[in-house]
Amino acid sequence: MNKTIGFIGLGVMGKSMAGHLLDAGHTLHVYTRTREKAADLLARGAVWEDSPAAIAQACDIVFTIVGFPQDVDKVYLGDNGLVANAKPDAILVDMTTSKPDLAVRIAAAVAARGGRALDAPVSGGDKGAREGTLSIMVGGDRVAFDAVLPLFEIMGKNIVYQGLAGSGQHCKLCNQIAIASNMLGVCEAIAYARQAGLDPETVLKSISAGAAGSWSLSNLAPRMLAGNFEPGFYVKHFIKDMAIAAESADGLRLDTPGLDLALALYRKLAAAGCEDDGTQALYKLYA
C-alpha cells in the first residue's frame, strides 16, 4: 500500500499503534496536542504536522484515537478539522471509543466530499497496543474497510467488520458493558480471597484458568495485587465509555443494572482523585 498515512492522538495506546505503522515502513505524519508525546516517533522518522487540517491535506489515510466525543467532533467536523480539509478520495478512520450517532454524522460528512469513513474502536489496552494484538471493531464503508485491512492487521489480531457507520461503536459499547460488570467481579473475588485468609495470587492460579477466566482477571488482577494502578486505560476514559453506553442503552429502552452500578462506583473512584489511574484502580474501593 503506497499511501501516506496520518495519525492523530499519541496517548497510552495511540503512540504504540502509530509506532507499528512506522516500523512497518509506512510514511507517517503525526499530530497530537502535546508535541513532546511525539518525540520518539519523530526521532524514528515520523513527520510532524501542526494541525488536523495539515494532516488531512498531506495524507491519504488518517487514523485518530483521541479522548472524548467532543474531541472527535472538533478533530473531524471543526473548521480546522479533517473533513473540511481532506483529500477528495481520503479514508478517515476514527479509533476512539465515541458515540455511534457521531460516527454516522462523520461518515455522511466525509461521503459528501467524496471520501470514505470508518469507526474502528479498539480493545486490548496498553498491552494490546504495544504488542499489536488489539481487537478492532469496524463500522462504515466496506470498500474502505477492505482497503485499510492490511493496516489494521499491523495494529491488531482480531479485526471484524460489524456493518454500516456506527456499528463499530455499538460493538465497542457491548465490549465495555461486558467489562464493566466483570471488573466488579474481579475486584470482589480478590477482596473475598483476602478476607477469607487465602493468598490471592494462589487463588488467581485456580480461577483464571476455569470458568471465571477473563482478560481482566488474567491481566489486571495481578496489577491490583501488586499495587500497580498505572493506566493501561484511564478511569476517566472508562467512565466516558460507560456513560455513552448507558445513554445508548436508554435510547434502546434497555435496562443495564450491571453497567449502572459499575458507572456509579467508577464515578466514586474518580471523585476520590483517581481519574487518571488505570481501570484496575477500582480495587481501591474494596481494599
At 242-271, the pLDDT tens digits run 999 999 999 999 999 999 999 999 999 999
- 3-state SS class at 89: coil
DSSP state of 4: -
Gap between the Cα atoms of 89 and 182, Å rounded: 42
* Architecture of the CATH domain 5-165: 3-Layer(aba) Sandwich (3.40)
Q: What is the mean pLDDT of residues 126-151?
A: 97
**181-195 tens-digit pLDDT:** 999 999 999 999 999
Tell me the average pLDDT across 81-96: 97
Look up the pTM and report it. 0.93
What integer is the mean pLDDT of 3-26?
96
Question: Residue range 218-229: average pLDDT?
Answer: 96
Classify each residue of 8-18 as buried b or exposed e, where b means 16 or more C-beta atoms within 10 Å of its C-beta.
bbbbbbbbbbb
Are 30 and 48 in contact, with CB atoms under 8 Å apart?
Answer: yes
Phi/psi region, residue 8 (left: phi>0; alpha: psi -120 to 50; beta: rest), is: beta
Instruction: Give percent of the chain with pLDDT exceeding 70.
Output: 100
pLDDT at 2 over 90: no
pLDDT at 3 over 90: no
3-state helix, strand, coil in the chain (%, to 5): 55, 15, 30
pLDDT, the chain, mean = 96
Supply the residues annotated as catalytic: 172
Q: Please, which residues have CB within 8 angstroms of residue 261's CB and are 6 or more apart in sequence? A: 181, 184
Residue 127 grid cell: 498491552
- Give the separation between CA 44 and CA 1, rounded to whole angstroms: 20
One-character DSSP codes across 188-242: HHHHHHHHTT--HHHHHHHHTTSTT--HHHHHTHHHHHTT----SSBHHHHHHHH
pLDDT value for 1: 62
d(CA 136, CA 216): 18
Matching residue, cell 483529500: 87
Q: What is the pLDDT of residue 232?
A: 87
Q: Which CATH architecture has domain 171-286?
A: Orthogonal Bundle (1.10)
Domain ranges of the chain: 5-165, 171-286
- Answer for the pair 276, 231: CB distance below 8 angstroms, yes or no: yes
User: Which uninterrupted H or E stretch holds 63?
Assistant: strand 61-64
Instruction: Supply the pLDDT for residue 154.
Output: 98
Cα atoms found within 13 Å of the Cα of residue 254, Cβ hemisphere only: 12
Average pLDDT over residues 205-225: 96
